Amino acid sequence: MAQESPKNSAAEIPVTSNGEVDDSREHGFNRDLKRSLPAGLGLSETQITSHGFDSTKEGVIEAGAFQGSPAPPLPSVMSPSRVAASRPAQQGSDLIVPAGGQRTQTKSGPVILADEIKNPAMEKLELVRKWSLNTYKCTRQIISEKLGRGSRTVDLELEAQIDILRDNKKKYENILRLAQTLSTQLFQMVHTQRQLGDAFADLSLKSLELHEEFGYNADTQKLLAKNGETLLGAINFFIASVNTLVNKTIEDTLMTVKQYESARIEYDAYRTDLEELNLGPRDANTLPKIEQSQHLFQAHKEKYDKMRNDVSIKLKFLEENKVKVLHNQLVLFHNAIAAYFAGNQKQLEQTLKQFHIKLKTPGVDAPSWLEEQ
């Protein structure tokens, strides 16, 4: 008993705190041994004993046929750093990005599809195609109306107002042209009267025997020139106001009328196209064309209704503005002409003050920007 046998010393098995056998060392040894064995060695015929056991049943590792380098077993508990490092790898393995830039899902995760790149040339080509088709339909509608074959949508009340507006515009343009002619002639007359008054004043100083006679005529011509300049200021103010009314206010309304007429032509063109399709056969080929034509017809109908409403509103406001502007300008023109030819200088000046008209003094330049400040 004093000397222990080798068997007893080799057979010592460590025991954990709860009484179970601690075989972690044995498993680690076996795992390291499997890694170190060469690939060509068959483990099915090999028996390995450890710690000098006599029995071949204890401490023996039996292995089947070798199938390649086995992957090391993962531990049951992973550290936080290894778990965190494995997440991006797993997420990245789910998506494969091809050369075209489109992502495809292979295992799991969201699918992200890239937007198709629009070709500007194709967009322009599509716009040109639509414009050409619309122009063709509108041109066909206009030719049909002129030849008396096509039908036309007519708003009798609105068309009558538009005709009156165009007729009035021609008459106002004639009045404007005549007023401009009168202003040019009056300016020439005033300029002549001023020169004549200066000549009479010069002769009044040089001719002692006719001093009074030349002096009277000089004063008369200068007074007429002064009154003519006042009348000229009133006429030019009348011309400017009527010109604004005719060439800006009325012209803006007529531009809206042109847009309304274009919308009416498009509306009739697509209406005629839809009517022709409805008269034809209805089958699988024509039904999509009828639906598309119905959609285009409805869109142009809404545009036509909107433009008709805009024209009606503008005509109403134009009539109110025209009456107000022309009333003031006609009163100014009448009072200024009557006062001038009656020789009533005070009434003529009062007329200009009434309409806040300021006359420029002859021979005086416009004030500089420093004086205006």
Q: Where are the domains of the chain?
A: 183-355
Q: The domain 183-355: what is its CATH number?
A: 1.20.1270.60
Distance CA 336, CA 328 (A): 12
pLDDT of 23: 52
pLDDT of 343: 84
- pLDDT value at 71 more than 50: no
Least confident segment among 17-21, 200-204, 296-300: 17-21
φ, ψ at 176 (rounded to 5°) = -65, -40
- pLDDT value at 176 more than 90: yes
Largest CA distance in the chain: 181
Q: What is the CA radius of gyration of the chain?
A: 53
pLDDT of 356: 76
Distance CA 182, CA 170 (A): 19
Residue with the larger pLDDT of the pair 234 and 292: 234
Nearest to 315 by CA among 252, 267, 268: 252
Percent of the chain with pLDDT over 70: 64
Could you tell me the two tokens for 123? Answer: 């967009």
Least confident segment among 84-93, 208-217, 219-228, 273-282: 84-93
Could you tell me the two tokens for 120? Answer: 């500007």
Exposure of 313 in the CB half-sphere (CA atoms within 13 A): 7
The alpha-helical segments, DSSP class H, found in the chain are 6-10, 24-36, 80-94, 120-147, 156-206, 211-244, 251-279, 286-342, 345-354, 369-372
CB neighbours of residue 14 within 10 Å: 9
pLDDT of 87: 45
Q: Are 198 and 205 contacting, i.e. CB atoms less than 8 angstroms apart?
A: no
> Which tens digits make up the pLDDT trace of 145-161?
788 777 888 889 999 99
Distance CA 187, CA 179 (A): 12
- pLDDT value at 143 more than 60: yes
The label of the residue with tokens 């806040």 reads 356
Distance CA 298, CA 304 (A): 10
pLDDT of 270: 84
- The strand pairing partners of 15, in sequence order, are 21
Percent of the chain with pLDDT over 90: 34
pLDDT of 6: 43
Q: Are 362 and 229 contacting, i.e. CB atoms less than 8 angstroms apart?
A: yes
Residues in Cβ contact with 98 at an 8 Å cutoff, skipping those fewer than 6 apart = 104
Interior/surface letters 143-157, b for 16+ CB within 10 angstroms, e for the rest? ebeeeeeeeeeeeee
How many angstroms separate the first and last alpha carbons of the chain? Answer: 130
Least confident segment among 211-215, 247-251, 277-281, 346-350: 277-281
Residues in Cβ contact with 329 at an 8 Å cutoff, skipping those fewer than 6 apart = 238, 241, 242
Give the model's confidence band at 228: pLDDT under 50 very low, under 70 low, under 90 confident, else very high: very high
Distance CA 110, CA 112 (A): 6
> Which tens digits make up the pLDDT trace of 72-87?
444 444 444 444 444 4
CB neighbours of residue 29 within 10 Å: 15
Give the model's confidence band at 42: pLDDT under 50 very low, under 70 low, under 90 confident, else very high: very low
pLDDT of 149: 79
